[in-house]
């Protein structure tokens, strides 16, 4: 991707120079806060740490703090530009640590080219940090520095320029070899570049299974061979080969793998032509690779290629490594990052690349679908699953290899990592865990849809639900095979050929005969997949319906209302959204999708249903009936409607914390309602917000998402007699999985507590289905 020079300078300057800042994690707004943060209160943790130094990880940020250390002698492709000039790169590294793994960083620029001075600075700083990331230090000094620090320090030390490239390209190598059908122990590998990255990659590949005698290494002087004197050092000597070959052109002939960590244009098309069948080319020089992607494919149609660039497939990007490796190491308080942990990281990345890729990742890269193959052999940097897969693998390896001081339960640790991905992810996992306790049968009318197929694969794999797909079985199986997913554990039903079609037709006729439906019409109507799915639930052949990814909202709800109908104690169905703010707070907003202008009685029902939904998320509901008026401050029928609704809710469920009418800020800012309106029953701020009409609710939830950065779960359909859940059109696979999990939880609760609901008095009104 081409970057304009001025754009880069403006990005680093902006309103506040640089890219990082220190943000306090504890309040410091009052005199008491100040006394706790600093003197005299700060003395107490100091004394605890003096008694037991390990308490520093409890009372300070040390356990989540990494030093990014450089002396500026090998900065990117810029060379020896000095410590100060390298500072923007180190700040950038800090941004990546924080963005991808929530690790805090101080960048340390050491103004010295003496490796002993760099070593000494790092050793003296050990009490400050949980780990050291060495960066942009030239070879061979970088080897000495890292080896010495690893031997003398009790915290993880990791030179990313060496091991990051090795770990990520190692994952690419494993998957590339699988695709081309070659055994790692048999392939010949040529390295062009014998600096820190080249030597580390070669050593890592040997640990992965490449035979050292099958490696040839080339530097600016040519092939590294036994007896060569020019440009040698002990690290290159490890890979000196017994060979008569002297040039890259000679070495590359018949090779299976080329690994470039050198300069633009080093690998010519003619050299590529001489490689073995189905060659693997990792041209990782940045920003210009040893051979361009276009030239490589024009030369060899059978080449499998990776580069360091984001505008080509298979980018070998170190950000896939260091944040997650340190995350795993810090979380078990490892004393080192050893070879077992590096191998675990490589294998985790290789395995993840074979999993179905979330829609959010595809969208981030402007692609409709990403699938394991020649153009996708390693995960994308913005794939959020990398954190869970890689950090957990690293932590497990640390424990198994004996360097972890604080072992963790791996399942619990994976959950902790999921929570780091955001509150919405945490809440979704909570629903999934509930669903996994007793999976239910969920029928999907849109059974031939790609996203539904991919979601069902996950539902079975994670034991969340028992999916039933409606559609043509042959078409579904063919499409699943094309997507590379298994349908083991998934039931497929063709409504046209189902043995239950006749009995479903007769039941539909019974239900709708006084609504103008004849028996022959019922026989045709039952082929509507939403209607067929609803009948499956009605007849007990499925426990829940999830539909709507390709349809409009009413087209999904109407068939369900005609067959499953509403709960007997309600007059209307409604919908709410669970919104998670950037601060991690969760709010339930209703009615955002169904009823345009509800009465006070209907709003009371909606509030009670929304409170039930909040409890399903393990949230204690605190309900506010919203208006432009605060407790009678404005006399208007619209304000009166919300006041009356609040009274009806209180009568129906005296245990529920509810009040209104009130303005939105009064509802969500505890200080306002508790200080200005001390008579109110609402305490702690509302988390269930009931709007006077669909207009205000729909506008509010969309503004919170678009302008406020809130994450949404929903729409959550409320009030059906049996679980029916509607997807947003175009919903992503992850959203489908979440709604299916919610449907399972709904079905579990229905089975456990059918008929035990209390709501306001009934009003005799026709249903929306009529």
Q: Which helix (H) or strand (E) holds 560?
A: helix 553-563
**Radius of gyration (C-alpha) of the chain in whole angstroms:** 31
Angle between helices 141-152 and 196-208 (to 10 degrees): 60
Task: Kindly name the residue from 93, 138, 236, 572 that is annotated as catalytic.
Answer: 93
Query: Structure tokens of 273?
Result: 């032509």
How many residues make up the chain in this entry? 770
Answer whether 315's CB lies under 8 Å from 292's CB: no
Residues in contact with 539: Cβ distance below 8 Å, sequence separation at least 6, in sequence order: 500, 503, 504, 507
- The CA distances from residue 311 to 316, 557, 609, in Å, are 12, 43, 49
The one-character DSSP state at 315 is B
Determine how many CB atoms are found less than 10 A away from the CB of residue 515: 9
What spatial distance separates the first Cα and last Cα of the chain, rounded to whole Å?
Answer: 57
Cα separations in angstroms, 241 against 201, 210, 220 = 17, 15, 16
The answer to whether the peptide bond before residue 40 is cis (omega within 30 degrees of 0) is yes
- The whole-angstrom separation of Cα 690 and Cα 329 is 46
Assign 3-state DSSP to the chain and report helix, strand, coil percentages, each to 5.
Answer: 45, 15, 40
Backbone angles phi, psi at 478, to 5 degrees: -65, -45
Q: What is the dihedral of CA 715, 718, 723, 725, to 10 degrees?
A: -20
Asked whether 507 and 538 are in contact (CB, 8 A), the reply is yes
Q: Give phi and psi for 226, each to the nearest 5.
A: -60, 130
The token pair at 332 is 């078990």
Angle, CA 288 vertex, CA 285 and CA 292 arms, to 5°:
100
Please choose, from the candidates 468, 392, 385, the residue with its C-alpha nearest in 3D space to the C-alpha of residue 429.
385
CA distance 693 to 594: 10
Among left, alpha and beta (phi > 0; psi -120 to 50; other), residue 76 is: left
**How far is it, in rounded angstroms, from Cα 463 to Cα 488?**
12
DSSP state at residue 681: S
Instruction: Answer whether 625's CB lies under 8 Å from 661's CB.
Output: yes
In the 8-state DSSP scheme, what is residue 597? B
Residue 599: CB atoms within 10 A of its CB come to 16
Q: What angle do CA 754, 532, 564 make, to 5 degrees?
A: 30
11, 38, 59, 365: the active-site residue: 38
Residue 38 annotated in active site: yes
CB distance 588 to 613 below 8 Å: yes
Q: Which long-range contacts (CB under 8 A, 24 or more apart) does 47-56 make?
A: 56/127
Pure H helices in 621-693? 637-652, 664-668, 670-676
Asked if 428 and 738 count as a contact pair (C-beta separation under 8 A), the reply is yes
Residue entry with tokens 């950037």: 582
**51 annotated active-site:** no
Round to whole Å and give the CA distance between 757 and 570.
10
- Among candidate residues 510, 509, 516, the one with its CA nearest the CA of residue 770: 516
Give phi and psi for 62, each to the nearest 5: -55, -40
Of the candidates 659, 732, 663, the one whose C-alpha atom is nearest the C-alpha of residue 700 is 663
Is 588 in contact with 577 (CB distance < 8 Å)?
A: yes
Nearest C-alpha neighbor of 561 from the set 541, 589, 531, 591: 531
The catalytic site residues sit at: 38, 93
């Amino acid at each position: 991707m081409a970057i304009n020079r001025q754009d880069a300078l403006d990005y680093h300057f902006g309103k506040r120079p640089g890219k990082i800042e220190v943000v306090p994690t504890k309040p410091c707004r009052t005199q008491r806060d100040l006394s706790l943060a600093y003197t005299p209160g700060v003395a107490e943790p100091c004394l605890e740490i003096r008694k037991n130094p390990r308490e520093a990880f409890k009372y300070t940020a040390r356990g989540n703090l990494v030093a990014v250390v450089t002396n500026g002698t090998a900065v990117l492709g810029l060379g020896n530009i000095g410590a100060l000039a390298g500072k923007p790169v180190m700040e950038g590294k800090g941004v990546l640590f924080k963005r991808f793994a929530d690790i805090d960083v101080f960048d340390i620029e050491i103004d010295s080219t003496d490796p002993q001075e760099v070593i000494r600075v790092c050793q003296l700083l050990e009490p400050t940090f949980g780990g050291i990331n060495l960066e942009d230090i030239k070879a061979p000094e970088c080897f000495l520095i890292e080896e010495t620090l690893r031997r003398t320090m009790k915290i993880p030390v990791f030179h990313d320029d060496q091991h990051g490239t090795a770990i990520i390209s190692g994952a690419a190598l494993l998957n590339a070899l699988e695709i081309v059908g070659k055994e790692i122990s048999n392939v010949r590998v040529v390295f062009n570049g014998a600096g820190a990255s080249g030597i580390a990659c070669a050593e890592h590949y040997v640990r992965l299974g490449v035979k050292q005698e099958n490696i040839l290494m080339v530097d600016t002087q040519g092939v590294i061979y036994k007896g060569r004197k020019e440009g040698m050092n002990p690290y290159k000597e490890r890979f000196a080969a017994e060979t008569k070959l002297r040039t890259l052109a000679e070495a590359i002939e018949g090779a299976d793998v080329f690994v470039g960590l050198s300069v633009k244009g080093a690998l010519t098309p003619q050299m590529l032509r001489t490689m073995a069948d189905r060659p693997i080319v990792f041209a990782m020089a940045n920003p210009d690779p040893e051979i361009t992607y276009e030239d490589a494919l024009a030369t060899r149609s059978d080449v499998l290629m990776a580069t360091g660039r984001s505008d080509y497939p298979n980018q070998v990007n170190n950000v896939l490594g260091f944040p997650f490796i340190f995350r795993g190491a810090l979380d078990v308080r490892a004393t080192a990052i050893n070879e077992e942990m590096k191998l675990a990281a490589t294998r985790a990345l290789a395995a993840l690349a074979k999993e179905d890729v979330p829609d959010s990742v595809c969208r981030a890269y402007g692609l409709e679908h990403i699938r394991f193959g020649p153009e996708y052999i390693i995960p994308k940097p913005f794939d959020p699953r990398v954190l869970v897969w890689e950090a957990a693998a690293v932590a497990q390896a640390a424990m198994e290899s004996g360097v972890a001081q604080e072992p963790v339960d791996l399942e619990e640790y994976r959950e902790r990592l999921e929570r780091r991905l955001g509150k919405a992810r945490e809440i979704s996992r909570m629903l999934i865990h509930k669903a996994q306790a007793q999976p239910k049968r969920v029928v999907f009318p849109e059974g031939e849809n790609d996203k539904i197929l991919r979601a069902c694969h996950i539902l079975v794999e994670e034991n969340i639900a028992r999916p039933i797909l409606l559609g043509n079985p042959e078409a579904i199986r063919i499409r699943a095979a094309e997507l590379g997913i298994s349908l083991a554990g998934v039931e497929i039903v063709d409504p046209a050929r189902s043995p239950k079609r006749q009995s479903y037709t007769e039941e539909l006729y019974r239900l709708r005969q006084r609504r103008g439906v004849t028996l022959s019409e019922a026989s045709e109507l039952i082929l509507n997949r939403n209607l067929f799915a609803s009948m499956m639930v009605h007849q007990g052949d499925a426990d829940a319906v999830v539909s709507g990814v390709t349809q409009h909202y009413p087209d999904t709800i109407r068939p369900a209302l005609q067959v499953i109908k509403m709960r007997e104690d309600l007059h209307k169905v409604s919908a709410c959204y669970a919104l998670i703010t950037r601060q991690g707070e969760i709010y339930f907003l209703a009615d955002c999708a169904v009823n345009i202008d509800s009465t006070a009685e209907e709003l009371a029902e909606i509030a009670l249903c929304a409170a039930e939904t909040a409890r399903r998320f393990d949230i204690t509901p605190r309900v506010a009936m919203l208006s432009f008026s605060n407790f009678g401050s404005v006399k208007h029928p619209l304000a009166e409607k919300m006041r009356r609704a609040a009274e009806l809710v209180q009568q129906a469920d005296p245990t529920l914390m509810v009040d209104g009418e009130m303005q939105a800020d009064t509802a969500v800012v505890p200080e306002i309602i508790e200080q200005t309106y001390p008579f109110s029953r609402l305490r702690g701020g509302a988390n269930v917000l009931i709007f006077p009409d669909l207009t205000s609710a729909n506008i509010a939830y969309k503004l919170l998402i678009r302008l406020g950065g809130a994450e949404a779960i929903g729409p959550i359909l409320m009030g059906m007699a049996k679980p029916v859940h509607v997807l947003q059109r175009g919903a992503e696979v992850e959203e489908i999985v979440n709604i299916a999990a919610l449907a399972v939880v709904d079905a579990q609760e229905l089975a456990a507590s059918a008929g035990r609901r209390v709501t306001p008095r009934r009003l005799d009104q026709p249903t929306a289905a009529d």
